[in-house]
A and B are shown apart, each in its own frame.
Chain A
Amino acid sequence: MSVSHGIPKQIEELLVTNRRGFLRNAGLLAVSFGIYGGAGLAEANAQSTASAQGPGPYPDLDFRQIDSWIVIHENNSATFYVGKTDPGQGTGTGFRQLMSDELDIAFDRTTCIMGSTDITVDQVGSGGSTAMERDSWPMRRVAAEARRVLLQMASTRLGVPADRLAVNDAVITVKADPAKHVTYGELLTGKKFNVTLNGNNVNSVTGQAKTKSIPELKYAGHAAHRDDIPGKVDGSTKWAADVKLPGMVHARNVKPPYACAKLTGIDESSVKNLPGFIKVMSKGNYVAVVCEREEQAIRAARQLKTTWEKPSTAPFPASEDLFKYMRAATPVPGATPTVAGGPGAAFAGAAKTIEAEYEIPFQGHTAFAGAHATADPSNGQMTIYSNDMKSYGMRRGVATFLGMPNDRVRVTYMQGPQGFGRTAAEDAACEAAWIASELGRPVRMQWMRDEETAWDTKSPAFLVKMRGALDAQGRLVGYEYNARSCDYNHLGYNEPDTVLIAQLMGQRRARPAAGSAALPSDMYAIPNRRMIGEVVGLPAVWETPLRTGNLRDPNGPQSAFASESFIDEAAAAAKADALEFRVNMIKAGTNDDNGFRRARSLAVLEAAAKKYGWQPRPSPGPRGTGKILTGRGIAYSFRGQTVVAEIAEVEVNRETGHVWAKRLVCAHDCGFVVNPESLRTTVECGTLHGLSRAIHEEVRFDTEKVTSVDWVSHPTLRHADVPEQIDIVLVNGDPNPNRPDLPPYGAGEASLKPMLAAIGNAIHDATGVRIRRVPFRDDRVLAALKAAGV
């Protein structure tokens, strides 16, 4: 295999075992960690290192070399190496489709290795739904260039000009004499390409060859089963959680019992005699215990006696007082409004004005499993096994945190519980690395359920005030959007001075990150607008479980809940149909861009309405008299250049306040679709993630600590909540048949964004009651219905 660029064979095979597409066809043997992992592996790599002072064994890969991206094997198969991670949306399969197309090799003879810092170029990892939109392009250009180079080689070998050669499935044939042919594998015979590409950075890397046009693509654009799924259903996938290394020990954190608590004492005698006990590790307010076995570490962490001092002032208000606090707080200076037309005059001359205020609480990642990582400090290097979606940032973060050179640290990306942004996987990795470097043994760190739910980063709470001015014809002519996001000291990815262990050890940034509060993303032609997004902070910003970080479109669901609920309120005030009201405002506009945003907005709204069978009428609809009230709601939004329209049909139980989304429709336009099968699933799951945030999710806290600590105190969507019917409509809104096809845009986040508003609008349609606060839990809905006399 790829001895060519120094990839440790054992690591490569380990990663390949998780990706079946190739395994089945190339007959590779599965290997286990027990054989190759740990000290043995580090040793093998360390052999290439002259001394502890010399260069480390893990230099950055050169993105300008074809060999960093593609290895052609003698058996005429190929391995692609990409600097991306796939937390379960199928991007890895999509990259294989695109690269197989550009390279002209059968999809089944390829595999794709992702996101391990010593063997794949730095493409950041994943985030922001940029996999296809941005990061697939360098891969495609490199694969196209590799094909061109192979054609040149074949031309020399066969003595025929390249333009008289044809390529099919990695076999190059003389067009005039098909008996003469040579395979890619025969041309390279396991050797390197040794071809240098152009480009100043990884995103601009290119060769001479052109990429194919959409009609020339054979695999991309068509359904393909995801290659990571078989191993996930038969139990053979090696997850980051499964890593076992010789001499490995287990660590568990002892978290402060309150935010901003100061550690005043540790009584090691409380655990010293427990079986398997190794050590209490502590610095500043950080405390962990290490034991030989996992269950021993869990027990010791629970049993360790520690004493803490509470802070003198409350670190935050209780969750029920959060919005009162945010209303009164002074925003971080510097936000400037976006103004169009003259909103002042529009409101002064309005036939009718409406006002509303929306509240979105902190909502968490609350990943399905606690954060975890394994760190191996063998031979003076550091290897981290992690499912964090940004392995390259983790490598730099861990290196800086430990004071090690980058080229002695590597991160091996493996599968894990979903990573939708800045998760605690990053905190766990730094903790494992610190303990491992102190102890000199491989360490597996695992967060427990209460830590994960309480201490993982949150998406910021939002308070949004809106005003609208309607003219005599019921048109929205004035619009104000004032958002406040509780997001001061927003945590970036893998920052060595803001990961939790660094905070607990006393590190502080001079200038915490300012945070953000997004504006709406619609294409409504409202002539007079004033929009502003301001940030406020809680009293405590360090060593607190209420820390904010990116979660799947970090501000989008909050901002869209407010703006798309408000448009519905305006439509209701104008006694207009909610869909027509939106369509008319979009049609009234003339703005457009190269993403055809106006036309594509109309296309998704129409596609959703058609699929649903939308009948125009004002909202609320005629209210039934029975126990169950039924209604429908629509909402739409952009995430980047991807546009989504969603319709929810809900049943509201008048006696219990329970909301069930009986039917959901999502019309989704992300431009060119690489794999419609995996896209549909991703969109469907994103839509349901939106539903979960609409009806269940809220992080609760008192004035000392987060009280959401498990699946009882922090509910999530369940099987019984699932709609009877979900329709996903993939749209490729094409306003102009003469233009080239749209490129691929992002997916994953977009379908989550408008769902909160769609559900709120449907509840209003069913009951006539507008609830401006998510989640729509039974007690909240029931109280609102009672208050309105429904």
Chain B
Amino acid sequence: MSKIDLKVNGHAHTLDIEPSTPLLYVLRNDLGLQGPKFGCGLGQCGACTVIVNGAAVRSCILPASSVKAEVTTLEGLAPNGRLHPLQQAWIDEQVPQCGFCQNGQIMTAKAMLDKNPHPTDAQIRETMNGTLCRCMSYYRVQTAIKRAARTLADQSPASQKEVVA
């Protein structure tokens, strides 16, 4: 065991754990977060996705001690109880079936839109392709991403300027 420091969704934590412990188990079992999930433990499905340094990463294969930057989980997308446009789009499009994969879908989409606010259909398919869903909600996920991208564009300072002008 050794002490590691983690910053998650704006809160700092010091934990006494095996340094090789995958981040996923620390988030779920030590910090009580429910967004990231165990799906495969192999980096193949995306269930455990969190955002670190702007990138969607798979916490099931990431040693907790290797994480130096702040971690954002699904819970961290709506810090003041106001849903992120992606979460709202997920409700508007009624995306989930069982919903177990949706953490991965939403967090992967978030990292994509942060870097590329106007993805093409082909870019959406490519970026999301490693994020699996066994209920097959894919078509809805893609529709919801496009909806969220429109909302984000409408909210962006550039478009607000246009409205004012």
Contact = CB atoms under 8 A, between A and B. Distances in A.
Contacts of B1: 275
B97 A723 contact: no
Contact of B34 (A237, A720, A722): A237
Name the prevailing secondary structure of the B interface residues.
loop
Interface in A267-310: 275, 293-296, 298
Contacts of A294: 25, 28-29
Contacts of A228: 99
Interface in A231-253: 232-239, 241-242, 244
A89 interface: yes
A718 interface: yes
B63 to A, nearest CB: 10
A681 B142 CA distance: 13
A532 interface: no
A244 B32 contact: yes
A232 B102 contact: yes
B111 interface: no
Given A681-B140, A716-B132, A716-B134, A242 B34 contact: yes
Interface residues of B, number: 59
A710 B42 contact: yes
A572 B101 CA distance: 42
Interface in B121-159: 121, 124-126, 128-142
Contacts of A691: 136
A293 B94 contact: no
B47 interface: yes
B99 A88 contact: yes
Interface string B9-52: 00000000010011001001100111101111110110100000
B102 A368 contact: no
A677 interface: yes
Interface in A418-474: 418-419, 446, 448-449
A235 B86 CA distance: 13
B134 A367 contact: yes
A244 B129 CA distance: 32
B15 to A, nearest CB: 12
A711 B44 contact: yes
A418 B100 contact: yes
A327 interface: no
Interface string B80-113: 0001000100110011111111110010000000
Nearest to B121: A724
A404 interface: no
Contacts of B100: 239, 368-369, 415-418
B75 interface: yes
A484 to B, nearest CB: 28
29 contacts: A87-B98, A88-B96, A229-B96, A233-B83, A233-B91, A233-B99, A233-B102, A234-B77, A234-B83, A244-B29, A275-B1, A298-B41, A368-B98, A368-B133, A368-B134, A369-B47, A370-B38, A449-B40, A449-B41, A681-B94, A685-B137, A686-B136, A689-B136, A711-B44, A717-B136, A719-B124, A719-B129, A720-B126, A723-B139
Interface of B: 1, 18, 21-22, 25, 28-29, 32-35, 37-42, 44-45, 47, 73-75, 77-78, 83, 87, 90-91, 94-103, 106, 121, 124-126, 128-142
Given A34-B32, A298-B41, A416-B98, 10 more contacts: A229-B94, A233-B83, A233-B99, A236-B34, A241-B38, A244-B32, A415-B100, A448-B41, A678-B94, A686-B136
